[in-house]
Amino acid sequence: MIKSSGGGKKILIVNVNWIGDVIFSTPFIKAVRDAYPDGYIACLIHPRCKEILSGSPRIDEIIVYDEKGEHRGIVGKLMLISYLRKMRFDIAFILHRSFTRALLTFLAGAKERVGYPTKNRGFLLTRAVNLPEEDIHKVEYFLNIARGSGIKVRENSYEFFVPDADRDSVKRLLEKYGVTDSDRLVVLCPGGNWGPKRWPKENFAKLADMLAAGLSAKIVLSGAKKDVALVEEVSGMMKSAAVISCGLTTLKELGALLERADLVVANDSGPMHLAVAMRSNVIALFGPTSPKLTGPYGKGNYRVIWKTKDCAVPCYDAACTDNRCMALITPEEVFKEAERVLNAVDR
């Protein structure tokens, strides 16, 4: 482990840009806090991911790096660098793969700069951690940086912290639509950050009707604001009623909603990983991406349904219109898995 020269170390963690990936980073953050219990830990993060880490007892400060807003252009970046220099960080752990993030920590004067030597940036690092020899889960990819720094890793599970006020807010939202604490609640998340990762919307609609009719479940269709149109299409295909919470919740409230659910069914997406972090019962639907690399991880109550046919995985062809890997998963088999999960909950 990087040695302390007396007193608490000032540590900067340069995080990644997407919600799911930031959730993957939370075991790394915990490992750093465990290694430096008296340290001051700040996290540099994209604005859209700030809420993932807010309220974490592992972090003393969240520094938002807004490249398209406040920190756009040379003047904005110089303002950020000036602030980071004033902080006098002892160590910067760079989880982001980019050259510019490593350059930022170099210009900010961080004494130790630790990360992978990707994007020809090895000369900017004081400690270049060897890249894994084979593909590993993204959680382990980040934890490997900790291990490469001599930090002992004791935990590999996601963390997400929800205030009770957000749980109360979700309870009021559900009550508004007639959902009580005693109701069996299933949350369906049909979104995903690109089309081929999404299970067909008609399948979500059919599954929702099967759950409502066969298991007396109350259905909530959830997701981000960008998923509103998709969720409304799913609702329009359903015979049964559904609560549409899509776009009505903050990330913290979404976490509280997923925690309240008896079951969450989701594609490979941020909400799916959020549900795992909240220790919800989760059925994760995979196709073009590999659960071995980006699937649910660590402690939790999750099951993965993954089918591929004649395609190399992971596949990042966002223009794919066939989507046969996701279409191979039928509503009937997801319903059977859901039935097993919900029957176990009732025991």
What confidence tier does 107 reach under pLDDT thresholds 50, 70, 90?
very high
Question: Average pLDDT of 127-155?
Answer: 96
Q: What is the mean pLDDT of the chain?
A: 93
Q: Same domain for 297 and 176?
A: yes
**189-213 pLDDT tens trace:** 999 887 889 999 999 999 999 999 9
Report the alpha-carbon distance of residue 335 to residue 179 in Å, rounded. Answer: 21
- On whether residue 312 sits in a domain, the answer given is yes
Question: Average pLDDT of 123-129?
Answer: 97
- On whether residue 218 sits in a domain, the answer given is yes
- pLDDT (0 to 100) of residue 5: 39
Q: Which domain holds residue 143?
A: 10-148
Report the alpha-carbon distance of residue 251 to residue 269 in Å, rounded. Answer: 13
Q: Same domain for 137 and 169?
A: no
| Lowest mean pLDDT segment, chosen from 4-13, 102-111, 280-289, 328-337 | 4-13
| Among 87, 116, 148, residue at a domain's last position | 148
Q: Same domain for 175 and 120?
A: no
DSSP 328: T
**46-88 pLDDT tens trace:** 999 999 999 999 999 999 999 888 999 999 999 999 999 999 9
- pLDDT (0 to 100) of residue 6: 38
Q: Same domain for 311 and 219?
A: yes
- On whether residue 3 sits in a domain, the answer given is no
pTM of the model: 0.92
Q: Same domain for 194 and 337?
A: yes
| Among 148, 177, 198, residue at a domain's last position | 148
- On whether residue 75 sits in a domain, the answer given is yes
The count of structural domains within the chain is: 2
Q: Same domain for 178 and 138?
A: no
pLDDT at 152 over 80: yes
Report the alpha-carbon distance of residue 261 to residue 225 in Å, rounded. Answer: 20
Report the alpha-carbon distance of residue 170 to residue 182 in Å, rounded. Answer: 15
Q: Same domain for 176 and 137?
A: no
Q: Same domain for 187 and 66?
A: no
- On whether residue 155 sits in a domain, the answer given is no
Q: Same domain for 144 and 176?
A: no
- pLDDT (0 to 100) of residue 308: 78
Q: Same domain for 49 and 188?
A: no
Which whole-number Å values give the CA distances from 225 to 191, 246, 338, in the listed order? 10, 6, 26
Of the two residues 118 and 1, the one the predictor is more confident about is 118
- On whether residue 173 sits in a domain, the answer given is yes
What confidence tier does 2 reach under pLDDT thresholds 50, 70, 90?
low
User: Percentage of the chain with pLDDT > 70?
Assistant: 97
- pLDDT (0 to 100) of residue 7: 52
Provide the pairing of β-strand 127-128 with 185-189.
Answer: unpaired
Of the two residues 226 and 252, the one the predictor is more confident about is 252
CATH number, residue 177:
3.40.50.2000
- On whether residue 154 sits in a domain, the answer given is no
Cβ pair 121, 41 in contact under 8 A? no
| Among 93, 115, 148, residue at a domain's last position | 148
- On whether residue 123 sits in a domain, the answer given is yes
Q: Same domain for 57 and 186?
A: no
